Structure 1
Amino acid sequence: MASKGKRVCVIGAGTAGLCALKNSLQHGLDAIAYEQCSEIGGTWVYTKPGQDDVHSSMYEGLRTNLPKEVMGYPDFTYPKDIEQSFVPSAEVLKFLQSYAQHFNLGKYIKLQHEIIRVRPLKGKWEIYVRDIKNDKFFKEIFDFVFVCNGHYSMPLMPEIEGIDDYKGRKLHSHWYRKPDTFEGTTVLIIGAGPSGMDIANHISKFSKHIYLSHNLDPAPNIDFMQNVTQKTVVQRFTEDGAIFKDGTTETFDHIIFCTGYKYTFPFLSMDVLLRVDDNFVHPLYKHCINIHYPTMALIGLPFYVCPSQSFDLQVRFALAFYTKKREFPSRDEMFADLEKDVEQRRKKGLTNRQGHAMGDKPYDYYRDLSETAGIENIKTVINKIMEDCSRKYIYELATYRNERFQVLDDETFVKYPMKAT
């Protein structure tokens, strides 16, 4: 086998890192994963309030906003005896642990090991690692690198006039943990994406009042949250509140920013020649391969996709080239492919921030990867379930998790209401 004896470094042991490790091993590569936390699971590991080095954004009471029927991997699905489709976060962590156990990944994972620096060296990768527990540093040389460090640990805070004048409490959803923290208070939540809507629903049961500021059109359905008022975007903050774009003013005790996260790779040296401009990481071939150094793949940048299935497909895409089953296009051809993608996005009026958004047709991206690398695509039924769930976390938040999905075959599924408990 062409890949025999080749070494792979996997950075991170969350949803992406685990499937990068498993697939690399199955392709005959000598792979090892480094995880800076004390357990596997990435963003699905709950860390308590006030704990140092919080990498996870997991909060109390979270249930998935996608059904478990699309959250498994192509070759490893959730147990069928779990009745509900939208499962608590602890079930996701349990699933990832069982995945690692099933494929015997534990002996290839080094926990509490932080990647300090990654740089190209004579056709290979020189990687410095810190053994956190023993506070020791060592160097390793690898042939390939999968960057799977996750993207829910560096909060993205918007720059809004007057934010430094505001005297109340400010936090990003990354640090939110418990709803009763806000008992009896008035709260402004900025952003009505998945976390903004879900957190509003959680704390509405404890808070005195919530203002939900966003620019969505049409506006979300919040009829089931009696103490929530929707507002336009904030024009500027005052000492005790804000003036909104429509000229109205409100006062509140707390602000929760549900405004997303930054893509960051602090361990990549400048020699890697990757740039991040407003969350657009470039230059990448097919949103994952470093064009300057194709032996590096970044897994999990695209959004509006089915995460675990997309991660697995990206990993298998890269491995088709790393094991010589496919030959990479020339550097010029990869740049041309990137420029074509950028131009199409520009014509649609998309910004850098949306540089990795797959919009309403992520299956076009899946098809491109699978056809280019000659690998199996994500099953059609997965896309159909994803379409069925689209944006329901905004417009049907009160009811959509009451549905249970059942996959019948590669093409079809059924759904029915959960039994009342």
Structure 2
Amino acid sequence: MKTRVCIVGAGIAGLSSARHLQGEQVDFVVLESTNYVGGTWRYDPRTGKDENGLPLHTSMYKHLRTNLPKQAMELYGFPIPEDMPSFPSWKIYYEYIKAYTKYYNLYEHIKFLHEVTLIKRKDNVWQVSYRHVITNEHFQQEFDYVLVCTGHFSKPNWPDIPGQATFRGKIIHSHDYREPCEFKDKRVLVVGAGPSGMDIGLDVAEVSRRLIHSHHLKVNFRTPFPSNFIKKPDIKELTETGAIFVDGSFEEIDSIIYCTGFEYYYPFLDESSGLTLDPHHVTPLYRYMVNVRQPTMLLLGLVVRACVVAAINAQARYAAALVVGNFTLPPEEVMMKEWQQRADAVVAKGRPFSDIHLLAEKEDQYYADLSAESGIDRVPPVLFKIRTLDTEAKLENLYTYRDYVYTIVDNDNFIRRYEPPAQKECCGP
């Protein structure tokens, strides 16, 4: 009997997994709650819920461009078009995702408008319950493997700041940020200095009267910020009309944008999965993805601080190699030891336990380990080198780091040149 595999989600992780299972002696299906592929990469001007009453998963905003060069965004076996800009917009990159889906005939494997409601381990199989979101017809199927590919960029992480309920202005999360024009001539507080916080802060600063950026990041950004861009420390409390910061200063505020990240959210996973599910981490995972206690379940795309598309592609190939039997996982105690060593390292450094998903400087070694264990093609070291230089360019100037064009010479080397583009209009069509 063929191995049965359920892939949850038709974003990059789900599509990559489907592409690498295709053509193998595997019976698989992709369950997708929306009517679209691409997950968070599909821009939708709406916020809140979609036409079927489900939460909108996308966090795309109108002016978003990738924060990694296109070489790091390439889907395995499907070359990025040469004429694609070095840092493409979401629109250009989304067309590339759709072209990938069409090229590999993946649409025929996707059950659109089918929402997974429960995944339960019973009688040595995975019982997957799901429903058609329009007819509400319910189904249940049994699978040998489950690949959870819903990512972790759809459920906002909301901070709990004293006085928040009294603030009379507008508060949104970056998940619902779409374009800057609604903040024109306003005093806007952006909270958080991750990639979205920095990007959205600069986007809004172009039109706002005053952009107050609150964060505690110790990184030394050397960007020449505009005169209306004001750096502030963490917020002590909010008032009806503004914010008091931990240094005692006060700012009048019209609107707040929380760029405070996302939660790990898998409401369909039953406790029989054996995973510990926390808003800030999922444990224990071998190789950052294999459910140690139930290793026929893999969660793809949970890594942080990496060439995420390259990492997801490698994980999808690793998962497919496991499913078709190209290699065997080590015993549970060996996998648990690998995870425990990473966990102990996080604790020893005094870091938040969410760092258990962090690759950072370990990224290239991670790819080497995946290849050595599973036999998949290794992600070339040049991608980690490009990401390292790209990070330095971000620290140097957040306005110009996307003006660099990268060309890969071979698996270890690349060249970079500077090509400033024409200036964009902030609130144009």
**Secondary structure in structure 2 of the residue aligned to 1:39:** coil
Q: Name the structure 1 match of 2:33.
A: 36
Alpha-carbon contact 1:180-1:206 (below 8 Å) kept: yes
* Paired residue type of 1:47: D
Distance 1:392-1:278 versus aligned 2 partners, 3 A rule: farther
Output the amino acid matched with 1:414: I
The residue identity in structure 2 corresponding to 1:384 is K
Contact 2:72–2:310 (8 Å) recurs in 1? yes
One-letter amino acid of the structure 1 residue matched with residue 75 of structure 2? Y
Question: For residues 247 and 410 of structure 2, what CA distance do their matches in structure 1 show?
Answer: 50
Q: What's the CA shift for 1:133?
A: 2.9
Q: Which amino acid in the other structure matches residue 65 of structure 2?
A: R
1:46 and 2:43 correspond:
yes
Counterpart of 1:269?
270
Name the CA distance, whole Å, in 1 between partners of 2:167 and 2:135. Answer: 42
Q: Distance in 2 between matches of 1:295 and 1:216?
A: 38
Whether the 8 Å contact between 1:204 and 1:228 is mirrored in structure 2 is yes
Cα offset for 1:409? 2.0
2:263 partner SS: coil
User: Which residue is 1:85 aligned to?
Assistant: 86
Q: CA deviation at 1:135?
A: 2.2
Do structure 1's residue 22 and structure 2's residue 24 form an aligned pair? no
Deviating above 6 A after TM superposition, structure 1's stretches of 4 or more consecutive aligned residues are: none
Please state if 1:288 is matched with 2:285. Answer: no
In 2: Cα distance, 1:191 partner to 1:414 partner: 33
Alpha-carbon offset, residue 100 of structure 1: 0.8
Q: Is the 8 A contact 2:342 2:356 kept in 1?
A: no
Q: Which amino acid aligns with 1:406?
A: T
Query: Which amino acid counterpart does residue 45 of structure 2 have in structure 1?
Result: K
Farther-moved stretch of structure 1 (103-112 vs 382-391): 382-391
Deviation at 1:320, TM superposition (A): 2.8
8 Å contact from structure 1 (residues 194, 393) kept in 2:
no
* Counterpart in the other structure of 2:164: 163
TM-score between both structures, scaled by the size of structure 1: 0.95
Rate the CA distance shift 1:118–1:63 in 2: closer, same or farther, 3 A. same
State the partner residue of 1:227.
Answer: 228
Q: Alpha-carbon deviations, 1:106-153, whole Å to 9, x = none?
A: 100111111111111212111111112322111111111110012111
Match of 1:390 in 2: 391
- Partner amino acid for 2:56? V
User: Structure 2: how far apart are the matches of 1:44 and 1:272?
Assistant: 28
Change (3 A) 1:398 1:149: same
Amino acid at match of 2:192: G
In structure 2, the partner of 1:67 is 69
The alpha-carbon deviation at position 369 of structure 1 amounts to 1.8
Contact 1:45 1:56 in 2 (8 A): yes
Between 58-67 and 367-376, report the one with greater CA deviation.
367-376
Sort the Cα spacing of 1:255 and 1:405 in 2 relative to 1 into closer, same or farther, 3 A: same
The answer to whether the 8 Å contact 1:326/1:373 transfers is yes
1:256 corresponds in structure 2 to: 257
Q: Percent identity?
A: 34
For the aligned residue pairs, the C-alpha RMSD in angstroms reads 1.6
| Contact kept in structure 2, 1:13 and 1:42, CA below 8 Å | yes
1: CA distance between counterparts of 2:19 and 2:324?
Answer: 15
Structure 2 gaps of 5+ residues are 50-54, 423-429
CA contact (8 A) 1:183 1:206 kept: yes
Secondary structure at the counterpart of residue 22 of structure 2: helix
Sort the Cα spacing of 1:221 and 1:56 in 2 relative to 1 into closer, same or farther, 3 A: same
| Residue identity in the other structure for 2:188 | V
Deviations 1:157-215 (A, max 9, x none): 12222222222111100011110011111011001211111111111121110100111
Structure 2 counterpart of 1:150:
151
Residue number in structure 1 paired with 2:427: none
Instruction: Give the match for residue 6 of structure 2.
Output: 9
Q: Counterpart amino acid of 2:35?
A: S
Which deviates more from structure 2 when the two are superposed, residues 385-394 or residues 180-189?
Answer: 385-394
Deviations along 1:41-62, one digit per CA (max 9) or x if unpaired, are 1001111234522111111111
| Structure 2 CA distance for aligned equivalents of residues 206 and 142 of structure 1 | 52
Within 1, Cα distance between the matches of 2:79 and 2:250? 49
Alpha-carbon distance between aligned partners in 2 of 1:378 and 1:349, rounded to the nearest angstrom = 31
Distance verdict in 2 for CA 1:391–1:212, change over 3 Å:
farther
Looking at structure 2, the residues matched to 123 and 341 of structure 1 have their Cα atoms a distance apart, in angstroms, of 29
The more displaced of 179-188 and 395-404 is 395-404
Amino acid at match of 1:78: I
Query: Measured at CA, do residues 357 and 385 of structure 1 come closer, stay the same or move farther in structure 2, by a change above 3 Å?
Result: same
Question: How many angstroms apart in 2 are the aligned matches of 1:386 and 1:50?
Answer: 31
Contact preservation (8 Å) 2:264, 2:280:
yes
